[in-house]
């Protein structure tokens, strides 16, 4: 029905009094009864058009952040800066110094540090999962070399997260 069709006409077998009869059902074509086909097509395509319109509008309303935690020349974040509090390195565009000063700069730096900590937590979790998976496989297969390798595997993001959290505690 969405594509202008319907159910096709069909041949039906009907049982009555223990005997099978063959009947042919025919439906009237809806296109014969439709007055204006253009309006019907428009109404059928309206949900798709609304989805495309809402998607386009949402893209226009989203603004990119004024910083990046890694250099991104495609966006213009090429100038290196460091936060005052935690010393997190971040990258900004050409006009950042003019647009962000005082309290707005402090807000941006706080957001940079929050994003940095969130990334460390995420990477720490991934490293722990990888280490635990390797330990599990080593135990499952009885591979002592793999087990020792897994035990020696470091979690650098977890170490950096621990150091960062300690410096936060010392600050407060």
pLDDT per position as a tens digit, 92-119: 999 999 999 999 999 999 999 999 999 9
What pLDDT score does 101 carry? 93
147, part of any domain: yes
25, part of any domain: no
100, part of any domain: yes
Q: What domain range includes position 148?
A: 65-169
Question: pTM of the predicted model, to two decimals?
Answer: 0.63
157, part of any domain: yes
pLDDT band at residue 35 using 50, 70 and 90 as cut-offs:
low
Average pLDDT of 79-85?
95
158, part of any domain: yes
Domains contained in the chain, number: 1
Q: Choose from 39-43, 59-63, 156-160 the range with maximum mean pLDDT.
A: 156-160
Phi, psi (degrees; rounded to nearest 5) at 70: -140, 155
**Statement: residue 59 has pLDDT above 90:** no
113, part of any domain: yes
- Segment 122-129 long-range contacts (CB within 8 Å, at least 24 positions apart): 123/157, 124/155, 124/157, 124/158, 124/161, 126/157, 127/154, 127/155, 127/156, 127/157, 127/158, 128/155, 128/158
Task: Quote the mean pLDDT of the chain.
Answer: 85
43, part of any domain: no
């Amino acid at each position: 029905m969405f594509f202008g069709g319907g159910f096709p006409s069909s041949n039906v077998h009907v049982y009555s009094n223990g005997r099978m009869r063959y009947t042919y059902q025919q439906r009237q074509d809806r296109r014969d009864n439709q007055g204006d086909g253009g309006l019907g097509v428009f109404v059928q395509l309206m949900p798709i058009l609304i989805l495309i319109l809402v998607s386009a509008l949402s893209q226009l309303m989203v603004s990119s952040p004024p910083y990046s935690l890694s250099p991104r020349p495609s966006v213009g974040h090429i100038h290196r800066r460091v936060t005052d509090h935690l010393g997190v390195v971040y990258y900004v565009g050409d006009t950042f110094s003019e647009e962000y000063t005082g309290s707005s700069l402090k807000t941006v730096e706080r957001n940079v540090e929050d994003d940095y900590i969130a990334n460390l937590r995420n990477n720490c979790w991934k490293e722990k999962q990888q280490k635990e998976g390797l330990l599990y496989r080593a135990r499952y297969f009885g591979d002592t070399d793999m087990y020792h390798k897994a035990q020696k595997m470091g979690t650098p993001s977890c170490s950096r997260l621990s150091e960062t959290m300690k410096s936060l505690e010392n600050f407060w």
